Chain A
Amino acid sequence: MTAEAGLAALWLAAALAAFQLLLMVLALCSAVDVQRAMRGVAMVQGALTIMSFAMLLLVFARTDLSVALVFENSHSAKPFMYKVAGAWGNHEGSMLLWVTVLAAAGAIMALLSRRTSGRTLVAALGAQAALALGFYAFLLLASNPFARLNPAALEGRGLNPLLQDPGLAFHPPTLYLGYVGLSVAFSLAVGALLTGEVDARLARAMRPWVLGAWIFLTLGITAGSYWAYYELGWGGYWFWDPVENASLMPWLAATALLHSINVLAARGALKAWTMMLAVIAFSMSMVGTFLVRSGVLTSVHAFAIDPQRGTFLLALLAIYVGAAFALFAWRGATLKEGAQFELVSRESGLVVNNLMLSVILGIVFVGTLYPLFVEAVAGAKMSVGAPYFNAVAGPLALILAMLVGVGPLLAWRRERRPVLRRLTVPALMAATALALTIILAPDMTILSRLGLAVAAFLAGASILPLIARNPLRVPLATWGMVIAHFGIAVSLAGMAANAAFTSEKLAVARVGETLRVGPWLVQLEGVAPVAGPNWTAIQAELRATRGEGPVLLTPEARYFTDPPTETGEAAIRTFWNGQLYTVVGKPDADGGWQLRLWWKPFVTLIWAGGVLIALGGALALVGRLSLFRRRRPSADWRKERYA
């Protein structure tokens, strides 16, 4: 019954979404006020979808093998946490999670949004329902998660062991919250373009959503990056893999939107540009989902490859993005730009930020899809990888990181003060870092050297907005900005240090042999077979020393039984100044074992910076929301009803 209840809830939600669409058309074509009906229906639709997802979690928690999806993706011997996580570790479940977040976002917008006019809200909720409707159709017609299996299976087929990892429980749901949170910005932009009310009020309504989605995207990318790093063979913390790029592109667009929306909220300027970014940010989320789910690009993440589903998703993407772009082309001319600003001002600083982020976004987008175009036009197979992205996007990102230190110091509208003088200390920090790297590491690459220098500059410059102010009276949003910008410096330092100072050792070692990597001496003490609940493994015992007491590491090469897959479990030890990363591979013919050892100084800063960036976003969000609470008008739609 559970599965049927979930399916029924999904059908009902789809019907309500269609009804919402009708309500929107009615509201736009006539003077009927449908706001209350619209809010109510959106909330019920959200509740139904959440119920449907809860049913899916339930059948996975119980390992109900009469449901085809559970049979395909679960196993009774699997640890409970991964049984539950298995609900979204597959195509159907992850699409249900996607649409659940989409509908829940619509419901929360219906429940809380009071900043826009009623007409714009109705149009936005209609747009949100239109988005949901397409994905309901996709689920119900092309990938039903609740399909039964008759007769029920005796045992499940397991879960991709690469996904049997705490990373899975956290990474996709976080990314989805980010991806789909941007749908609200998309819907609000579409709604405002329809009603013609693109103004500061809209920007203030949109801002918490963009900020919230951006926080989750930042966390999701950070977690995904760490997951890819310790899960072997996924190429380090960032591989420029198409699917990694798919999560980076919405983040870049959302970051640009986050900054341009402030100009719209504060000064009423950059209207058309901000609306375009809001559309693009969610479009990039859909492109991301399409790339992962269709498998058109060869990627380590393409778990579910099915061209038919890909066609469906591509059609949805073309319809939604096409409709939004067409609306923009049609209504864009009516947008009147607001207040003017001078060349040196906060506004122009944010414009430069937006331009650079957009160019980086363009570079990543073109690089990701370029192989496809080349093959379509010339028939040649090629791949675009890290050399292109690092060489083209890297320098731009460095320039952008430098400007991040300058922008927050500028005043709105016109800057008359000598801003550059305030940057003396950060500039000295950068010069010191540069000099130190030239003296201590003369053969570093230029990109890493500049990376460390820019990181030092930004670390100093990012805290300048706090200098000479009472820290308790600085608004939370400013604290958030400072911490996020400081986080960029921390992350950048980690990336540069990792690129410049990593030592790697690849060797075949016999038991008893000692290898040197960086400051470490690593001895292979023995190799033994071990067994887990659903795998067997070869475990190497390594004893690492550098001056102080020895450290024991036990990397494993695991063999999962159901389905049969081999994975490497790296053994990683974190120290204050870096990580020792060890992997055991296959034996060779003469009784030696393949060992891979890395010493990665300060690599953890990469993710620490990511967490700081998200933390900064969270502080800004809390600041924005409590600021709003004080200013909220007393005429509340819920109170009105009972008045």
Chain B
Amino acid sequence: MTRALRFTPLLLLLLVVGALTWRLTTPADTAVPSRMTGQPVPTFDLAPLVVGKPGLVSADLASGKPRLLNIFASWCVPCIAEVKVLDGLRRRGVEIDGIAVRDRPQAVAQFLARNGDPYARIGGDSESRLQISLGSSGVPESFVVDGRGIVRYQHIGPIEAADVPVILAQLEQVR
């Protein structure tokens, strides 16, 4: 076996290790920004779902103040944990509107009575139409909407205690 042949594996290894080192030191950008960020909220008009609580119209979101728009459902288990965190946000002065997806009035009323009610308004989205046009793929999901009705931030999954500072910072930023 010639010397060149014997040293070929070593050289190939150097090449591969070199390329892998380069990849490790310059990580690829994998962040996927939300499609809705910077877009106005689609026009909608959701009827009230719970007695004594107004429904939700797209004009309500352009109230001059930043708001949190929360997509939830009474049949969604993570929402039970999330709604308590949202109640904490409400007590700190955040205005929260809810969209109940594929839900019945009775069930929503029970859900709020049992777990707390942080919502200023609740619209019923019985066929997920608004949910889909908002680009939301699951429940729960939340949007930070600025005073002119433009989506500034999308949060996928329940808002947990650890997410509260991020949400507050986002609300502060668009004020």
Chain A interfacial positions (CB closer than 8 Å to B) = 272, 276, 280, 290, 294, 296, 298, 307, 310-311, 314, 317-318, 321-322, 325-326, 328-329, 332-333, 335, 369, 372-373, 375-376, 381, 529, 531, 535-536, 559, 561-564, 566, 586-591
B127 touching A591 by the CB < 8 A rule? yes
30 A-B pairs (CB sep. < 8 Å): A276-B9, A290-B20, A296-B24, A307-B27, A314-B21, A317-B17, A321-B13, A322-B13, A322-B17, A325-B10, A326-B10, A328-B9, A329-B3, A329-B9, A333-B3, A376-B19, A376-B22, A381-B28, A531-B77, A559-B76, A559-B77, A559-B78, A559-B138, A561-B77, A564-B157, A566-B137, A587-B128, A588-B132, A590-B127, A591-B127
Given the known A-B contacts A325-B10, A328-B6, A329-B10, are A314 and B24 also in contact in the complex, defined by CB atoms under 8 Å? yes
> Smallest Cβ distance from A256 to chain B, in angstroms?
15
Given the known A-B contacts A318-B13, A589-B129, are A329 and B76 also in contact in the complex, defined by CB atoms under 8 Å? no
Contacts of A307 in B (CB 8 A): 24-25, 27
Contacts of A588 in B (CB 8 A): 132
Q: Cβ of B43 < 8 Å from any Cβ of A?
A: no
Contacts of A586 in B (CB 8 A): 137
Contact with A along B118-138 (1 / 0, CB 8 A): 000000000111001000011
Nearest first, the 9 closest Cβ-Cβ pairs linking A and B are A564-B157, A329-B6, A325-B10, A325-B9, A332-B6, A318-B17, A296-B23, A589-B129, A561-B78
- Of chain B, the residue at the smallest CB distance from A272 is B1
A310 touching B24 by the CB < 8 A rule? yes
> Smallest Cβ distance from B17 to chain A, in angstroms?
5
A372 touching B75 by the CB < 8 A rule? no
Given the known A-B contacts A311-B24, A314-B20, A376-B23, are A333 and B6 also in contact in the complex, defined by CB atoms under 8 Å? yes
B20 touching A296 by the CB < 8 A rule? yes
Contacts of A310 in B (CB 8 A): 24
Query: Which B7-60 residues have a C-beta within 8 angstroms of A?
Result: 7, 9-10, 13-14, 16-17, 19-25, 27-28, 30
What class of interface size applies to chain B in its complex with A?
35 or more
Contact with A along B151-165 (1 / 0, CB 8 A): 000000110000000
A298 touching B76 by the CB < 8 A rule? no
Give bound CA distance, A310 to B25, whole Å: 10
Contacts of B157 in A (CB 8 A): 563-564
> Smallest Cβ distance from A309 to chain B, in angstroms?
10
* Contact among A328, A333, A529 for B75, CB-based, below 8 A: A529
Give bound CA distance, A209 to B5, whole Å: 28
Query: Could you list 7 further interchain pairs (A-B, Cβ under 8 angstroms) beyond the known A296-B23, A375-B23, A589-B129?
Result: A328-B6, A372-B19, A372-B23, A563-B157, A587-B127, A589-B128, A589-B132
* Contact among A314, A372, A564 for B78, CB-based, below 8 A: A564
> Smallest Cβ distance from B32 to chain A, in angstroms?
12
> Smallest Cβ distance from B106 to chain A, in angstroms?
15
> Smallest Cβ distance from A303 to chain B, in angstroms?
14
Q: Of residues B10, B17, B20, which shows the largest number of chain A Cβ atoms within 10 Å of its Cβ?
A: B20
Contacts of A272 in B (CB 8 A): 1
- Of chain A, the residue at the smallest CB distance from B78 is A561
Give bound CA distance, A353 to B131, whole Å: 57
Query: Which B141-171 residues have a C-beta within 8 angstroms of A?
Result: 157-158
Contacts of B30 in A (CB 8 A): 298
Give bound CA distance, A536 to B157, whole Å: 14
Contacts of B23 in A (CB 8 A): 296, 372, 375-376
> Smallest Cβ distance from B149 to chain A, in angstroms?
22
Contacts of A373 in B (CB 8 A): 19
Contacts of A311 in B (CB 8 A): 21, 24
B158 touching A564 by the CB < 8 A rule? yes
Give bound CA distance, A328 to B27, whole Å: 34
- Of chain A, the residue at the smallest CB distance from B5 is A332
- Of chain A, the residue at the smallest CB distance from B27 is A307
> Smallest Cβ distance from B44 to chain A, in angstroms?
12
- Of chain B, the residue at the smallest CB distance from A531 is B77
> Smallest Cβ distance from A373 to chain B, in angstroms?
6
> Smallest Cβ distance from A637 to chain B, in angstroms?
35
Given the known A-B contacts A322-B10, A326-B10, A376-B19, are A566 and B138 also in contact in the complex, defined by CB atoms under 8 Å? yes
- Of chain A, the residue at the smallest CB distance from B30 is A298
Contacts of B77 in A (CB 8 A): 531, 535-536, 559, 561
Give bound CA distance, A218 to B100, whole Å: 49
Contacts of B14 in A (CB 8 A): 322
Give bound CA distance, A531 to B75, whole Å: 10
- Of chain A, the residue at the smallest CB distance from B81 is A561
Give bound CA distance, A335 to B5, whole Å: 14
Give bound CA distance, A563 to B76, whole Å: 14
Give bound CA distance, A369 to B22, whole Å: 13
Give bound CA distance, A372 to B19, whole Å: 7
Contacts of A529 in B (CB 8 A): 75
Contacts of B25 in A (CB 8 A): 307
B128 touching A536 by the CB < 8 A rule? no
Contacts of A561 in B (CB 8 A): 77-78, 81
- Of chain B, the residue at the smallest CB distance from A294 is B24
Contacts of A562 in B (CB 8 A): 78
B138 touching A329 by the CB < 8 A rule? no
Give bound CA distance, A73 to B45, whole Å: 43
Give bound CA distance, A376 to B24, whole Å: 11
Give bound CA distance, A317 to B17, whole Å: 9
* Contact among A321, A325, A536 for B76, CB-based, below 8 A: A536
